[in-house]
Chain A
Amino acid sequence: MIQVEGLTKYYLGDQPAISNLSFYADRGEIVGFLGPNGAGKTTTMRILTGYMPASAGKAIVAGYDVMRQSIEVRQRVGYLPETVPLYKDITVWQYLDYMAGLHGMTNPDRTDRVEEVLDQVDMLDRADSLVANISKGMRQRVGLAQAIVHNPDVLILDEPMVGLDPDQRREVRELIQNLGEARTVMLSSHDLAEVEKVCTRVLVINRGRIVAEDSPEALANNMQGMQRFYVRVDNDAAGKLKELVMSVEGVAEAKVDDRKGGLEVIATRDSNARPAVAALIVSNNLDLLELRPLDMSLEDIFLQLTAEAEAELADEDEWDDLDDDEFDDLAEDLDEDEETK
């Protein structure tokens, strides 16, 4: 299992890449780590796998402290890095044999095991190909084979689905689900739909903070429950449009569009926010120029969740030193808040 408390990482500069992350993942769980570019997913995973130290905080992986018992952790973790770095000048077989060897496996077990995982990722027929000559999808699968070759208790997969075609995605998904039954799996992604299919629980991370934690179904409902639209008026000399819009029931956020001076509004889907905004504008004697729906991008959803979490953070000063139980309670409260919206 994985248990993380207050994990913080500063690279150069004073802006942390991740800040005060706390979460856990149990055996049998497949936890999705969902976030946009630069959210801090890779950073977190690199700390959990013992690649680099955190600036502050604590992480227990497979029962050992990643900072103080790095080797013990590394023996028990399988890691697929984001870039799937493989040695190009050797064959697929030689590569896996080397990785198994680095994890302390000896012959004859090692040979059997390499054959087994190659079979699992459906690469047995390419065992003697040079790594340089296999396709991107195959490389991804070899990367996955490398991560599981030593039978780790914990699997950490950084964007494992990237570069795979739909069939391969399905296969990898099934593989991950099988592996996840008796292990702890954590995988990162930008893609809610992907995470939804395979994960039992999802952590949403943005700008280095966990902004939501939920079952994939609840999260998907929650996210699809938002709508976005664009509104622009002509004679808003007093600049009160934003204030007006924000006062409408169901509106969560309104952002001024700098180019034309309109507003991008995010509101809950089931509210009648759009007609209500229109009515309010008219009743305030403003000229409505534009009112049209916008697509809800994942980026917006992340921003939205981040804004909510930050508001929560401002309310809850003691967030920083919560212990696990309190954290859970709070997470539940948060869920309820969102459900009642």
Chain B
Amino acid sequence: MVAQSARNLWTIFRHEFSLYFGSPIVYFIGALWFLFVGVFFSISVASFNQGAPLTMDNTISTMGFLAIFIAPGLTMRLISEEMRTGTHELLLTAPVRDWEVVVGKWLGAWGVLTVFVLISLIFPLILTFLGSPDGGDILTAYIGLWLLWGMALAIGVMASAMTPYQIIAFIISLALLIGLWLAQAVFNFIPNPLIQEIASEATIFSHFQNTMVQRGIIQVENLVYFIGVIAIALFLATNFLGTRRWRA
């Protein structure tokens, strides 16, 4: 059972991962990402010269922030396109479970992001030539970045399972991610401590920038947050895919 699922996940992952690198869009997105991140890194380097501490905080925050826009673009295709072109008919009649399809596709997208992240390790490498940055801090921030992206991509997969229209999937996941990023700012206007507390727990800020990036710590609740949202999003995506069978 487990071996079978692992094999199915691997098959789907491999297919999706290579589809990404077979299309020009990934190279375009990758180029855009490195352009952005490179600019922010250069600004940081300029500030190091003026005596600021040698950290990756701003650069990694930027890489995290880009998830809002890039993750929806990377994932919108994943399930929507299959539903639109009808290829899902064969996928859903192959001996793979719906959750394996969803998770395999998500892993494919996360794999692409992982490639981006690995390439971006060039930036901390540059830092080591400029001085001696805190390796633990950088590692923690990178773990946060990787989890944040996993979450953003899971939300994107969910949106893609909701509709055969890629552009609608893009808008849904973009809206959800902006919401998760800005919830705190919005709810700060509501003078109710409980609501503010919930909003702050729900935002990406408090689990990513404020802790893993800036303070360099990983708390259990940060892990629970990211892994929990990933699990919920993928669970819902599996259900949306399942309802496709009923509507056919």
Is B94's CB under 8 angstroms from A46's CB? no
Taking the complex as formed, is B239 at the interface, i.e. its CB lies under 8 A from any CB of chain A? no
Taking the complex as formed, is A106 at the interface, i.e. its CB lies under 8 A from any CB of chain B? yes
Is B95's CB under 8 angstroms from A79's CB? no
Q: Complex Cα distance A89/B93, Å?
A: 21
Is B94's CB under 8 angstroms from A89's CB? no
Which 7 pairs across A and B sit closest by C-beta, in order of nearness?
Answer: A85-B86, A101-B11, A102-B94, A74-B95, A75-B95, A85-B87, A49-B93
By a CB distance below 8 angstroms, the chain A residues around B8 are 102, 104
Q: Which residues of B from 1 to 50 have beta carbons under 8 Å from A?
A: 4, 7-8, 11-12, 14-15, 18-19, 22-23
By a CB distance below 8 angstroms, the chain B residues around A52 are 245-246, 248
CB closest residue in chain B, given A147: B90
Taking the complex as formed, is A319 at the interface, i.e. its CB lies under 8 A from any CB of chain B? no
Q: Complex Cα distance A74/B4, Å?
A: 14
Taking the complex as formed, is A305 at the interface, i.e. its CB lies under 8 A from any CB of chain B? no
Point out residues on A near B: beta carbons under 8 Å.
11, 46, 49-53, 71-72, 74-75, 77, 79, 81, 83, 85-90, 94, 98-99, 101-104, 106, 146
By a CB distance below 8 angstroms, the chain B residues around A81 are 86, 89-90
Q: Complex Cα distance A49/B87, Å?
A: 15
Is A104's CB under 8 angstroms from B7's CB? yes
Is B96's CB under 8 angstroms from A102's CB? yes
Point out residues on B near A: beta carbons under 8 Å.
4, 7-8, 11-12, 14-15, 18-19, 22-23, 85-97, 245-246, 248
CB closest residue in chain A, given B15: A98
Pick 27 A–B contacts, CB within 8 A, sort by A: A46-B248, A51-B92, A51-B93, A51-B245, A51-B248, A52-B246, A71-B97, A74-B93, A77-B93, A81-B90, A85-B85, A85-B86, A85-B89, A86-B87, A87-B19, A88-B85, A89-B23, A94-B18, A98-B15, A102-B8, A102-B12, A102-B91, A102-B94, A102-B95, A103-B95, A104-B4, A104-B7
Is A51's CB under 8 angstroms from B89's CB? yes
Is A87's CB under 8 angstroms from B92's CB? no
Is A90's CB under 8 angstroms from B19's CB? yes
Shortest Cβ distance from residue B25 to the other chain A in the assembled complex, whole angstroms? 11
**CB-contact partner of A106 in B7, B15, B18, B85, under 8 A:** B7
Q: Complex Cα distance A94/B85, Å?
A: 18
Is B245's CB under 8 angstroms from A53's CB? yes
Q: Complex Cα distance A81/B248, Å?
A: 13
CB closest residue in chain A, given B22: A89
By a CB distance below 8 angstroms, the chain A residues around B85 are 85, 88
CB closest residue in chain A, given B85: A85
By a CB distance below 8 angstroms, the chain B residues around A88 are 85
By a CB distance below 8 angstroms, the chain A residues around B92 are 50-51
By a CB distance below 8 angstroms, the chain B residues around A86 are 87
CB closest residue in chain B, given A80: B90
Shortest Cβ distance from residue A197 to the other chain B in the assembled complex, whole angstroms? 27
Is A103's CB under 8 angstroms from B7's CB? no
Q: Complex Cα distance A86/B95, Å?
A: 17
Shortest Cβ distance from residue A283 to the other chain B in the assembled complex, whole angstroms? 56
CB closest residue in chain B, given A102: B94
Shortest Cβ distance from residue A62 to the other chain B in the assembled complex, whole angstroms? 12
By a CB distance below 8 angstroms, the chain A residues around B14 are 101
Shortest Cβ distance from residue A114 to the other chain B in the assembled complex, whole angstroms? 14
Q: Complex Cα distance A120/B85, Å?
A: 27
Shortest Cβ distance from residue A80 to the other chain B in the assembled complex, whole angstroms? 9
Is B11's CB under 8 angstroms from A98's CB? yes
Is A71's CB under 8 angstroms from B89's CB? no
Shortest Cβ distance from residue A93 to the other chain B in the assembled complex, whole angstroms? 13
Q: Complex Cα distance A278/B50, Å?
A: 110
By a CB distance below 8 angstroms, the chain B residues around A72 are 95
CB closest residue in chain B, given A85: B86
Known A-B contacts: A53-B245, A81-B90, A94-B18. Give 19 more (CB < 8 A). A11-B248, A46-B248, A50-B93, A51-B92, A52-B248, A74-B93, A79-B90, A81-B86, A81-B89, A85-B86, A85-B88, A90-B22, A99-B90, A101-B11, A101-B14, A102-B8, A102-B12, A102-B95, A146-B90
Q: Complex Cα distance A106/B8, Å?
A: 11
Is A74's CB under 8 angstroms from B94's CB? yes
CB closest residue in chain A, given B104: A102
By a CB distance below 8 angstroms, the chain B residues around A99 are 90, 94
By a CB distance below 8 angstroms, the chain B residues around A49 are 93
Q: Complex Cα distance A87/B12, Å?
A: 13
